[in-house]
């Protein structure tokens, strides 16, 4: 078994410790780690049909994953209500230790996930899914539904870019869409975060967006020319 298969199996194994999910993806540095045992935070997004029922079951299995005050004051009902009414429909359990790894996972209602992908209702998970992720479970074919989100991201980025730009500029603009208006980028977050994400996962961005760029080129919306560093120079027609 090669490193990729080993990493995939390692990431999947966490799902045996929680109730069943309809969707699961991981994101962040895990995507380009060659060592599944490396001590980096693993980030999961979990899609479920009924968060109230799911959290009720997970509290029986993993109560220590949750903030103790939420468990004591209201349990699954409070956890779900806080996510729905005060947040963007996602409840995160951070700093979970499992199998000698540190991870965090966010739980979202499948209906809310799909609506955000299609309509950018909160632009929280849709923004995340505009960047490379590793889908481990996809019972409702979110990967296909997400093509609407990716095409919209390309269109939005093109409106914000000058007539001529590089392929890296395009992916950086797409990546930056979800950070626009995020005050963390002004203070706490790394100002070079977007550049690091794109450069670290450039091949993954290419594979994600190649079909849409080829479509735009075929319709004469974009023109491509190669450069010395083998990155495409792009012109809007």
Domains identified in the chain and CATH numbers:
2-140 (3.30.460), 146-236 (1.10.10)
pLDDT of residue 10: 85
Query: What token pair was written down for 66?
Result: 């949750």
- Residue of 89, 88, 85, 98 whose CA lies nearest to 42: 98
Query: What token pair was written down for 29?
Result: 């540095």
pLDDT of residue 228: 63
3-state secondary structure the chain: CCHHHHHHHHHHHHHHHCCCCCEEEEEHHHHHCCCCCCCCCEEEEEEECCHHHHHHHHHHHHHHHCCHHHHHHCHHHHHHHHHHHHCCCEEEEEEEEECCEEEEEEEEEHHHHHHHHHHCCCCCHHHHCCCCEEEEEECCCHHHHHHHHHHHHHHHHHHHCCCEEEHHHHHHHHHHHCCCCCHHHCCCCCCCHHHHHHHHCHHHHHHHHHHHHHHHHHCCCEEEEECCCCCEEEEEC
Round to whole Å and give the CA distance between 154 and 131. Answer: 12
Please enumerate in sequence order all residues whose Cβ is within 8 A of that of 164, keeping only pairs 6 or more positions apart, or say none. 233, 234, 235, 236
Residue in the structure block whose two tokens are 């995160």: 92
Q: How far are the Cα atoms of 78, 133, 204 from residue 207, in angstroms, in the given order? A: 40, 12, 5
Query: What token pair was written down for 86?
Result: 């005060």
pLDDT of residue 9: 86
pLDDT of residue 165: 95
Query: What token pair was written down for 178?
Result: 């979800």
Mean pLDDT per 10-residue segment, the chain (237 residues): 70 96 89 56 96 98 96 96 94 94 96 97 95 97 98 97 96 92 50 87 95 96 81 89
């Amino acid at each position: 078994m090669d490193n990729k298969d080993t990493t995939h199996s390692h990431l999947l194994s966490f799902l045996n410790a929680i109730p069943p999910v309809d969707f699961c993806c991981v994101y962040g540095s895990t995507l380009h780690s060659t060592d599944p045992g490396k001590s980096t935070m693993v980030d999961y997004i979990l899609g479920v049909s009924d968060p109230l029922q799911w959290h009720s079951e997970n509290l029986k299995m993993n109560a220590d994953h949750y903030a103790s005050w939420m468990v004591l004051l209201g349990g699954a009902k409070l956890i779900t209500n806080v996510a729905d009414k005060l947040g963007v429909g996602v409840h995160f359990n951070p700093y979970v230790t499992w199998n000698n790894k540190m991870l965090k996972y966010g739980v979202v209602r499948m209906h809310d996930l799909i609506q955000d992908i299609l309509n950018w209702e909160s632009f929280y998970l849709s923004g995340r899914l505009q960047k490379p992720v590793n889908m481990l479970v996809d019972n409702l074919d979110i990967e296909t539904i997400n093509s609407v989100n990716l095409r919209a991201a390309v269109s939005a980025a093109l409106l914000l870019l000058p007539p001529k730009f590089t392929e890296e500029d395009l992916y950086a603009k797409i990546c930056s869409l979800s950070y626009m208006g995020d005050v963390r980028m002004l203070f706490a977050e790394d100002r070079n975060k977007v550049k690091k994400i794109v450069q670290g996962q450039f091949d993954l961005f290419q594979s994600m967006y190649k079909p849409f760029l080829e479509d735009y080129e075929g319709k004469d919306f974009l023109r491509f020319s190669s450069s010395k560093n083998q990155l495409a120079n792009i012109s809007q027609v």
